[in-house]
Structure 1
Amino acid sequence: MELFLGKVLVMNNWDKDELDTEREITLRLQNRLLMLFFGSAGCERCQDFLPTLKSFHKRLTDEFYVMRSSQLVLIYVSMDATEEKQETVLEDLPDSCLFLQHDDSYKKELEVMFEVEETPTVVVLRPDGSVLSPNAVQEICTLGTDCFQNWQEGAELIDRNFEMAEEFDDHKMRSVTDPLRRFKYRVEKKKKKDGEEEEEEGEGEGLVGVKWADTEHSRFAPVKSVFLSLTSGLC
C-alpha cells in the first residue's frame, strides 16, 4: 500500500507502537482492504457511529468470532481540534486500529485526496489504493458484516482463508503419542487350537496386550522409545 509508505502509522495499543519502516507498513497493509475512518470527538453523528464501527471491525477480525481474521485494516484519520479529543475517539476504537499522529499534516492531504465533506466518513480502499467505496457508513449500518464479502469480491482480494472450519479442525496439533495411540496401541486376540481365546502380550514390558506391530520399520518408530519410557513404571 504505497499510500502510507514513508509515513508513520501508530497502533492503538497500550504502548502506541509505531510502524515507521517500509517493511512494517507493507507487512501490515498488503493484500488487505483499508477502511479510512474520518471523524472527530466533537461530531455527534461520529459518536453515534463509533459503537457500530467497533462491533463491525471486531466481528470481522477478532478470532473469537471468526476462524481467521479478515483481511481488513481500520485507520483513524482524526479531524479533532486537539490531541486530547483525538484520544477520546481512540478509546472507543479497537486496539488493532491504526492512526496518524495528531500533528501529522498528511491527514489533511488525505481529506482533500478523498474529497471528505462530512463526518463520519469511511473510505474503503483496495490493496492497490484505489477507491472501492467513497463512504461506506450507510452500508456498514445497513448490511453489517455482510458488506465485507461485497468489498472482497469487488476488490478481487486474494483470499487467504481458504480452509473450511472442518478442514482446519482435522489439522489441529496432536500429542507425540497420538499416532501410536490411534494406530499401534491395540490388543490382539487369537484363538487357540481348542477354540479358546487369550490376549497376546506385546513387546511393551509391563503392558499386557500391547503390540508394537513392526514399529521399528514404521514411521512411528521415533516415538516408540518415548512412549515406553513414559509408561514403563505404570505396572
Structure 2
Amino acid sequence: MMLFVLTVARWLSLSQLVFKPFQHCYIMELFTDVALLSKSPPSDTALTEAEEANEKTCSITDCKQLENKIVALFFSASWCPACQEFTPLLTQMYDELIRRNAPFEIVAVPFDRTKESCDRFFVQESGDWLTVQFDDSIIGTLKEKYCVNVIPKLIVLRPSGEVITPTGRKDVQDKGIIAFRSWLKSTNLSNSLSFL
C-alpha cells in the first residue's frame, strides 16, 4: 500500500511538471511581435525576375496567417538525421492539406547551430510553412513552454493555444493526413471537415 501511495505521489508530481507548460495562451498572443519567415511573398509584393526564376525567396510575415487555424510547432534542426528523415513526410502532408484549404499551418522552430545552416535548411529542405528566425528569443520560450528536449518534435495546438497533442510526429508517421482529421475534431473548427 505504501509503495502505491508513493508511486501515485511521484506520478502526480511528475504530471505537474509535464502538463505545466501547456497552459492556455492564444496562438496570436504567443506570436505577437514575432517576425516569421515565409517562402511565399506577401500577396501585395511584386517579385523581381531573379526571384521568380529562383522561387526560393524568403519574406517576413506576421502572425495573422495563424489566426483560426490548427498550428503545429515543428522543432527541428538541419544537423539532425531524424529531422531530415521526417521533414519530407511532414512536407507532403502539409502540401496536401494546404491544397485542400485546410485550416492548418506549421511554424518551424529551428534548433540549428548557425544562421547559415538554418537558412539553408529552411529554403532548400523544408515545406512552404512559416519559420521562426534563427536568433529570435521566442525559440527559448517555446522550448521551455513545451518542454522540448528531443528533436524532431511536432506539437499540435488549437487556435486557442491549447495543446491537441505533443506527439504530432508520431501521428503523422502512423496516420499521415488522417491525423489531421482527429486533430480537427478536437477543435471548434470541426465544421471544416468537408474539405477532407
TM-score range with shorter-chain normalisation? 0.7 to 0.9
Which residue identity does 2:75 align to in structure 1?
F
What is the match of residue 74 of structure 1?
106
- Which deviates more, 28-37 or 10-19? 10-19
The residue identity in structure 1 corresponding to 2:38 is M
Pairs within 5 Å for 1:83-94: 83-90=115-122, 91-94=124-127
Q: How far apart, CA to CA, are the structure 1 residues paired with 2:89 and 2:141?
A: 27
Say which SS state the counterpart of residue 155 (structure 1) adopts.
Answer: coil
Cα deviation for residue 135 of structure 1 reads 2.3
1:3 aligns with 2:30: yes
Structure with the larger helix share:
2
Unaligned runs of 5+ residues in structure 1 are 165-235
Contact 1:54 1:92 in 2 (8 A): no
Instruction: Tell me the equivalent position of 1:40.
Output: 77
Aligned to 1:120: 152
- When the two structures are superposed, what TM-score results if normalisation uses the length of structure 1? 0.61
Alignment of 1:43-192 (within 5 A): 43-62=80-99, 66=100, 69-90=101-122, 91-95=124-128, 97-157=129-189, 159-160=191-192
Q: Percent identity?
A: 27
Letter of the 2:31 counterpart: F
Aligned length: 153
Cα contact 1:31–1:158 (8 A) shared by 2:
no
> What is the TM-score of this pair, normalised by structure 2?
0.72
1:88 is displaced (CA, Å) by 3.1
Q: Report how far residue 152 of structure 1 moved.
A: 0.4
Q: CA deviation at 1:89?
A: 2.2
Q: Tell me, in whole angstroms, the C-alpha distance in 1 between the residues paired with 2:115 and 2:148.
A: 21
The amino acid that maps onto 2:107 is I
Q: Which has the higher contact order (CA 8 A, sep 6+)?
A: 2
Going from structure 1 to structure 2, the CA distance change for 1:38 and 1:118 (only over 3 Å counts) comes to same
- In 2, the alpha carbon distance for the partners of 1:129 and 1:115 equals 15
Q: Are the aligned partners of 1:12 and 1:99 in contact in 2 as well (CA < 8 Å)?
A: no
- State the one-letter code of the partner of 1:93: S
> Which residue type is aligned with residue 120 of structure 1?
P
Runs of 4+ in structure 1 off by over 4 angstroms are 160-164
**SS across alignment from 2:131:** strand
Root-mean-square deviation (CA), in Å?
1.8
Task: Give the alignment partner of residue 16 of structure 1, picking from 50, 58, 62.
Answer: 58
Q: 1:78, CA displacement in angstroms?
A: 0.1
Distance across 1 between alignment mates of 2:117 and 2:167: 23
Give the number of the structure whose alpha-carbon radius of gyration is greater: 1
Instruction: Tell me what 1:187 maps to.
Output: none
The Cα shift of 1:2 comes to: 1.4
Report the more deviating stretch, 40-49 or 80-89. 80-89
> Which residue pairs with 1:29 in the alignment?
66
Output the CA distance in 2 between the equivalents of 1:155 and 1:58. Answer: 21
